[in-house]
Structure 1
Amino acid sequence: MLLVTVAIIAGFFFLREHWGHVLGYWPYLLLLACPLMHLMHGKSHGGHSSHLQDSGRTHNGQK
């Protein structure tokens, strides 16, 4: 908990000192966030309907 608190405080002061540089890269960071979100959440596409389909196999992989 202490390490997280120190990291947040350090990040705040780092951003405060370098805010002009961060603002220059903000559009690129925002565009980079889109593909990263798709990579992180790509496995959840399609909902839970794929779990309801019966593939004809039992739990041990045999028919």
Structure 2
Amino acid sequence: MTSSRTWTLMVASLAIIVLFFVLREHWGHALGLLPYLVLLACPIMHLFHRHGGHGRHRGTSDKEK
């Protein structure tokens, strides 16, 4: 029986291969989207990383510890 990790590696490998061939055939279109992807990187990072953890120590001080 195949483990979960093996399936994950197989799917990731297949995704990389498909991505390579799609980019190879549509490189001009992909480069045209690059400026928009760079502009979207900041809002996407803020969605998933919540501003890098700002305010983790809000409301706590050394005296309370």
Indicate whether the TM-score tops 0.5. Answer: yes
User: Is the radius of gyration larger for structure 1 or structure 2?
Assistant: 1
Gaps in structure 2 of 5+ consecutive residues = 1-8
Give RMSD over aligned pairs.
Answer: 1.7
Percent of aligned pairs with the same amino acid: 54
1:51 Cα shift?
6.8
Match of 1:21 in 2: 29
Match of 2:19 in 1: 11
Aligned length: 52
1:52 Cα shift?
3.1
Which aligned segments of 4 or more residues in structure 1 are displaced greater than 3 angstroms?
none
What does residue range 1-63 of structure 1 map to in structure 2 within 5 Å? 1-42=9-50, 44-46=53-55, 48-50=56-58, 52=60
Higher helix share: 2
Cα distance in 1 for partners of 2:47, 2:10 equals 31
Q: Letter of the aligned partner of 1:10 in structure 2? A: V
